[in-house]
Amino acid sequence: MSNLSKEWAEVRANDRVMRYRRTGTGRTIVVLLSPSHHQPPWPELIEALGSRFRVIFPEPPAADADVSDWLADFLEGLGMSNVRIVAADRFCMPTLELTLLGLDQVARVVLVPHGRGWEQGVGGALEAATGQAVVPLIVVRDGQPVEEIVQLTTGFFAA
C-alpha cells in the first residue's frame, strides 16, 4: 500500500477522533480493512483505485466498537455523501447496515467477505424500506485472482 500518504489525517465526530490515510483524486472510496489484510489483492487494488479515485483508508476502530456507528461518524466527520465503500471481513455487515439506514451517504458498495457463506460474484442493489433509494452492491471473494478483483472493483466504481 505504498501509494498511501505516509502522514495521518484525522476527523472528529460525536466525541470520536478517527485517523486515516489517503491517496489519489476524484470520487471518494473508503476502504475498510482489518490490519491483518496486507496480502493480495489489497496493495494492487489500492494502487488501481488510487489512480482513478480518492481512496481513504481509515485506521480500524477498536474490536469492541459498534462499527456501524463508527462508520457513520467517520463519514460525518469527512462531511461526504455519495461515498463508495469497499468493506472486508468484519466490516461487511456494518457497511450493509449503514447503507440501508443512511442511503444518502453511500453510493456503491463492494463487499469482500472472508470464508464461506457468500456467493462469488453476487451483485444487486440495496433498497431501503421506503423504496426511495437504491445502492448498487457486489460481493467478491477474497480468494479470487487479483486481476479479477481489481478489474471488477474498478469497473464497478467507475460506472
Name the CA radius of gyration of the chain, rounded: 15
37 has pLDDT over 60? no
- Boundaries of every domain in the chain: 9-158
Checking if the pLDDT of 120 tops 60, the result is no
CATH of 9-158, one of 3.30.470.20, 3.40.50.1820, 3.30.160.100, 3.40.50.300: 3.40.50.1820
Q: What is the pLDDT of residues 67-103, one digit of tens each?
A: 989 998 999 999 988 899 999 888 998 998 888 876 6
pLDDT at 118 over 60: no
Percent of the chain whose pLDDT exceeds 70: 80
Q: pTM for the complete prediction? A: 0.85
The pLDDT tens digits of the residues spanning 14-29 come to 889 999 999 999 999 9
Identity of the amino acid at 113: P
11: closest CA among 35, 36, 34, 28?
28
d(C-alpha 128, C-alpha 63), whole Å = 28
Helix (H) or strand (E) holding 68: helix 67-78
> Which pLDDT band holds residue 59 (cuts at 50, 70, 90)?
very high
Strands, E assignment, the chain: 9-13, 16-23, 28-32, 54-58, 83-88, 106-112, 123-127, 134-139
Instruction: Pick the range with the lowest mean pLDDT from 9-23, 28-42, 43-57, 124-138.
Output: 124-138
Residue where the block lists cell 489484510: 37
